[in-house]
Structure 1
Amino acid sequence: MTERRPRLLYLAFYFPPSRASGVYRPRATANRLTELGWDVTVFAAPLSFLHDAIGSVDDKLMETIDPRITLERPELNRFVWQTNVRDYSRFRGAFPQLAQSMYTWGQKHVFPEHYASWARASVRRALRLHTRQKFDVVLATGNPFASFAAAWLFHKLTRTPYIIDYRDSWTLDQFSEEPRYEDGHPAWRWERRVLKSAANSLYVNEAQRSWHADRYPRAADRMMIVLNGWDTDTLPATAEPPPFARAAAGEGAPRFSFVGTITDQQPIEEMVEGFTRAREHFEMKSASLDLYGYFGFFRGADNALRKRFAADDGSEASAGSEGEHTFAPGVRYCGPVSKTELADVYQNSDVLVFLNGGGRYVTSGKIFEYMAAGRPIVSVHSPGSAAEELLRDYPLWFNPGGLDPADIADSMIAAAKAAAGLDAPQVAAARDYANRFERSVALEPLVRRLTELAARRGAG
């Protein structure tokens, strides 16, 4: 008799081909569990929403999904994303004010998020699938946090245990480090409800876990830290030094790279000013800073962000080939790169610039890739960032200690000098440190807990 595989329902709205920053953790988790023999069903966003409403896709990411994963896309009411009256329902077109009032009431009294309809559709679909073959455990990742509510309701109806994964905080603004909602807001009531019934809740760093433990002490003993990590399928091992070190003495110029999504939370001006000052050093006059990634997560976010990179004289950015743009001298925007092509970018970079917004509650998933690339890393973020705890023992970290452009420039110069002399053993040492954050290692606590819950469910 063939042993029955444990069965997981994974509520992950942002899943490939979405290019949202949080998509890589669910992608890796679903693939890893499938590799370990789980039967994984993922509920994700409708494709039409990703393509038409927010315009945020990376189609190549779909090629990285294990074909054994079952992928479902429950419907979503796009009320707030409808800007053309032709898209309105017959009821909304005939009674627009009443439709708005009803929608607002639902946000206040039913569930305070625009993705609530997806959660309801997910529960209905999950119940049908559960009737045919029972799920052993549910894993829900947020945002959106409607996935948490869907896991809670499915649990109430079927007694299936669930784990919620805080990729981001729901009620804490991780950038201002203040509560996101006023007292009495329904989000607080819902968060208390889902934490009370959850088998576990997951957090990406200790500061995030501690904040929630202080606010919800009755759930504190079920709170776990599961770090982000880097993925071997998109960043294969290499011990090759950077191009600058491989060049003949006196030839070439250091190439700095930033890889990631550019947002309005990042200290863009300080990075550009620091790099501009670094280029005043005689060994850095031809240095370049290449930016790879999107401007913002959604359609329409790029214009304001592009202007923040403009040259000091106020001139427009100059356009190059294939969508490239030069902003300040030496600073070039190279456009987005699929995760499947990142290895070449890292391999051809001398120094990586870790531009990050937020403080102690924000651990960018990108820092794990940076370390795995085995390159000198220059931090450009406020002191106290959660990433500092990870970088502290990385052997090629250059930390300005703050956002003073002069200090950033000094760190960039020092990192370039280190890159010029980097050899294969040094790259290997950096990679060895990064290996402790390889995704299968980082996910091990979650895998163990899911296995325990599924075994208990099966035994029952």
Structure 2
Amino acid sequence: MKRSKQVLWLSYYAPPMGGSGVQRPVKFAKYLAKNGWNVHWVCPEEGSYPYRDQGLTQDLDSERIHLYRVGGGTPQHSIFGRWIQSMYYALPWKLAARLNSWLYFPDNKVGWAHEAHDKALELISTHQIPLLFVTAPPFSSFSLATTLAEETGAKLVLDLRDDWLENQFHQYATTSRRAQMAELEQRVCSKADAITVINEYTKANLAKRHPTLAERMRVIPNGFDPEDGFDLADESRRQHSETDPSIWVYNGLFYRQQNPSDVLKGFVQYIHDRPESRTKFVIQGDDGKRYRRVVQQAQDRFEWKGYLSHEASLHGLMQADVLWLHLSAMQHIDRVTPGKLFEYMGTGKPIFATIPEGVTAEMLRQYGPVSIVHSTRQEDIAQAVHAFEQQRLQQSLPPVNRSFVESFDRERLTHRLEQIFLNLAPES
């Protein structure tokens, strides 16, 4: 008789929390459940997390997915959570990050790991769960999972959605704090039976730091879910003539570390240089409070929609003519592949990318209809927008590489994760 497929799922971010950090664990869990896995998901209460998306709970509507909520134990879960959050965002981001590094180790979510331990241990014992899957950030979740694996003998799979030690958002308070993090990364990774990462750049850097662990590492990128309405074969996309307005859409927040002001100024210059164009720029996901003044001279061409549900944001992508992707030059940005990249590609739309060189640029070149702009000079941005619009209207852009895009189907990607699980914990 085969043993039922059971996995303990540790993810701080869980619906109805919204945002990009939720998508990966949700889609993995959804398709694992369809393949007969019982997913026992331990997560914290929401606390004062600012982004909610109740619609994401639909992906977890399965009798095989069980959510167990525990106390958060983090600053966001205290009675002063919203005040702490507002104070944090009032500080310059590097100062705020260093303060976090000084006050908390390995991160400010460490309290949730303490809260989750007993519930996770109970579930492993009750359901005889042979396998632990944990996704990070927050990296405090990794410490929790390592402790559980040591206590129970369960196999451990670490999932890195970003680099750990050399994370693009980390600002270490002191050199000793960085050394402490390096030591923790070494200890935790050495305990893992398998390590999944989101791209080859992250894998290469992790393997460079831990060469003896390279054979345990596998790349499983982020992706898009066809069941969310993506269809590369759909020919009903809006077609425009040169006299129709074209809609450029950016999806997501502009993190404080990702300042788009120079690019926005380039868009404004394009509007001034080409008054005959009726291009409209729609930013969905960011309220624009920090950037409205940048586009004030062309404010009628910019629409700021603020935070949207995943469903609503995908609807906006489908209505666009061009999708804008932005990454600012900063430490370790070359190894970052934002989650929106894969949903952009899933639409089959032309992509205008203002990004540094790195793994995202390499992937976009394989995609097809793209313009990659490294310069932040507004004159260069304006010229690049005009050139890309001309190519699009003349239908001279390269075609979408369909086989490349289809490789990021969430169901296919989950199959790769399932194979890792089955190798570590066979059914019989």
* TM-score, scaled to structure 1: 0.80
User: Where does 1:161-240 land on structure 2 (aligned, <5 Å)?
Assistant: 161-174=155-168, 182-183=175-176, 185-238=179-232, 239-240=234-235
Distance 1:180 1:258, change over 3 A: farther
User: Where does 1:17-416 land on structure 2 (aligned, <5 Å)?
Assistant: 17-47=16-46, 49=47, 53-68=48-63, 69-79=65-75, 82=78, 84=80, 112-174=106-168, 182-183=175-176, 185-238=179-232, 239-240=234-235, 242-243=237-238, 246-247=239-240, 249-282=241-274, 285-294=277-286, 306-311=289-294, 328-357=299-328, 358=330, 359-381=333-355, 383-416=356-389
Counterpart residue number, 1:91: none
The sequence identity of aligned pairs, in percent, is: 24
Distance in 1, Cα, partners of 2:271 & 2:107: 47
Distance 1:406 1:442, change over 3 A: farther
Amino acid paired to 1:360: D
How far 1:78 sits from its partner (Å)? 3.6
Q: In the TM superposition, what whole-angstrom CA distance separates every residue of 1:402-453 from its partner, at most 9, and x where no partner exists?
A: 3232222222223323333449x977x4545411211123333322111111
Distance in 2, Cα, partners of 1:19 & 1:160: 30
Match of 1:384, SS?
Answer: coil
Gaps of 5+ in 1: 88-103, 296-304, 316-326
Amino acid paired to 2:267: F
Match of 2:12, SS?
Answer: coil
State whether residues 7 and 136 of structure 1, in contact with CA within 8 Å, keep that contact through their aligned partners in structure 2.
yes
Counterpart residue number, 1:454: 425
Q: In the TM superposition, what whole-angstrom CA distance separates every residue of 1:1-35 from its partner, at most 9, and x where no partner exists?
A: 6x432100110110111113211000111111111
How far 1:83 sits from its partner (Å)? 5.9
Distance in 2, Cα, partners of 1:65 & 1:418: 42
Gaps of 5+ in 2: 84-99
Amino acid paired to 2:325: F
Match of 2:57, SS?
Answer: helix
Distance 1:34 1:347, change over 3 A: same
Distance 1:407 1:197, change over 3 A: same
Q: In the TM superposition, what whole-angstrom CA distance separates every residue of 1:208-267 from its partner, at most 9, and x where no partner exists?
A: 122222222232221221111111122331523642xx24x4531111111112212224
How far 1:292 sits from its partner (Å)? 0.6
Paired positions, count: 404
State whether residues 357 and 374 of structure 2, in contact with CA within 8 Å, keep that contact through their aligned partners in structure 1.
no
Amino acid paired to 2:420: R
Distance in 2, Cα, partners of 1:306 & 1:39: 43
Amino acid paired to 2:424: L
Amino acid paired to 2:140: A
State whether residues 200 and 219 of structure 2, in contact with CA within 8 Å, keep that contact through their aligned partners in structure 1.
yes
Amino acid paired to 2:270: A
State whether residues 375 and 419 of structure 1, in contact with CA within 8 Å, keep that contact through their aligned partners in structure 2.
no
How far 1:353 sits from its partner (Å)? 0.7
Q: Which has the larger radius of gyration?
A: 1
State whether residues 242 and 422 of structure 1, in contact with CA within 8 Å, keep that contact through their aligned partners in structure 2.
no
How far 1:380 sits from its partner (Å)? 1.1
Amino acid paired to 1:65: L
Counterpart residue number, 1:101: none
Amino acid paired to 1:384: E
Distance 1:129 1:84, change over 3 A: closer
Match of 1:437, SS?
Answer: coil
Distance in 2, Cα, partners of 1:409 & 1:19: 33
How far 1:309 sits from its partner (Å)? 3.2
Q: In the TM superposition, what whole-angstrom CA distance separates every residue of 1:350-377 from its partner, at most 9, and x where no partner exists?
A: 1111122352121111111111111111
Distance 1:407 1:308, change over 3 A: same
Q: CA RMSD in A?
A: 2.9
Distance in 2, Cα, partners of 1:12 & 1:72: 11
How far 1:134 sits from its partner (Å)? 0.8
Match of 2:407, SS?
Answer: helix
Distance in 2, Cα, partners of 1:371 & 1:126: 37
Distance in 1, Cα, partners of 2:219 & 2:403: 22
* TM-score, scaled to structure 2: 0.85
Amino acid paired to 2:214: A
Distance in 2, Cα, partners of 1:83 & 1:130: 32
Counterpart residue number, 1:443: 414
